[in-house]
Homo-oligomer: A and B are copies of this chain.
Amino acid sequence: MSAVTYELIKECGQSGARLGKIHTPHGSFDTPMFMPVGTLATVKTMSPEELKEMGAGIILSNTYHLWLRPGEDIVEEAGGLHQFMNWDRGILTDSGGFQVFSLSDLRKITEEGVHFRNHLSGEKLFLSPEKSIAIQNALGSDIMMAFDECPPYPAEFDYMKASVERTSRWAERCLHSNKSPDRQALFGIIQGGEYEALRKQSAADLTSLDFPGYAVGGLSVGEPKDVMNRVLEFTTPLLPQNKPRYLMGVGSPDSLIDGVIRGIDMFDCVLPTRIARNGTCMTSTGRLVVRNSKYARDFGPLDEACDCHVCQTYSRAYIRHLVKANETFGFRLTTYHNLYFLIKLMGQVRQAIKEDRLLDFKAAFFEQYGFNKPNARNF
């Protein structure tokens, strides 16, 4: 039995969405679910208690960053990432591949792995499937991700095909180097860009290896939204029904709903936390830039429709004052609200699936949010 299992509870009568539950060695959580990102063993500005209060069942942490700081050996010596950061619910770690490709300018990809320079010190480093899994084993996450290449958009078919094939070979090496499959589940990552043939090839390769879960990678890398939706439409049907499906790096409210409709169970993104630190908030009526001068004397909440602690307690005027003065507590408030907003949105989505009305929910949400307006501002 895998360390992580997926329980399908119900499929939506209106869409490809599925209601489920994922069981991990650190508790279970309902799906679809959004995972807050805790890059350096902390979800920026938040405490573990606050994450629990808002209903987060699992968070993501970054292997690359923890490898460099403080080093996976220190985390392991602390008793693993859960103990190190005082988080007793689920943790998913990525493979480090995305950061190696996105943060590092100087890199060389070989069959063995990737040579690159540390983005902080310039030091030469090497990351391979085996090394990535060894780090993730040391971190002790519940869900580990296979080390893959995530090419930018657009990429040539021939480059993408070679990359997909290498990613499949790397995935097999990852699977074989997982030292604790009974405690840590390794998910495979389907690549292939916008090419249906390559997504098919990638899915066939990876499902033949029988991973306990699958991610759709290589999306939200600059492609138009309709490309993302189309790729999901022909990719999720290639994945087994009895395993979790994770769409990597997606966190805008519209894309979450569109992903769920196409059969995705898990999402992560820095979007809600990153924009919060710039004073931008997600609300039920759209994007709100709270540092805007029009909120200086607005004593209403960030979002009238929100029942989070921040909206029940603090005004736009106060939060604007804090954000403008660069006060940490302001960023705590915007971060809390944004994460709550997405986690609650996923709860509403689950309820809509249960009641076979996800497309109706989407239509109403998009209308209220303003996604249907011409030139609607997203994130």
Contact = CB atoms under 8 A, between A and B. Distances in A.
A318 interface: yes
Interface in A288-336: 296-297, 299, 313-315, 317-318, 320-322, 324-325, 327-332
A135 to B, nearest CB: 16
Given A45-B329, A47-B332, A318 B78 contact: yes
Interface residues of A, number: 34
Interface stretch (A69-77, A159-167, A231-239, A337-345): A69-77
Contact of A317 (B78, B297, B315, B330): B78
Given A297-B77, A299-B78, A70 B321 contact: yes
Interface stretch (A20-28, A36-44, A103-111, A219-227): A36-44
B85 A318 contact: yes
| 5 closest residue pairs by CB, A with B | A70-B321, A42-B329, A45-B328, A40-B325, A42-B327
Interface of A: 40-42, 44-47, 69-70, 74, 77-78, 84-86, 296-297, 299, 313-315, 317-318, 320-322, 324-325, 327-332
27 contacts: A40-B322, A41-B318, A41-B321, A41-B322, A42-B322, A42-B327, A42-B328, A42-B329, A44-B327, A44-B328, A44-B329, A45-B328, A45-B329, A46-B329, A47-B332, A69-B321, A70-B317, A70-B320, A70-B321, A70-B324, A74-B321, A77-B299, A78-B315, A78-B318, A84-B317, A328-B328, A328-B332
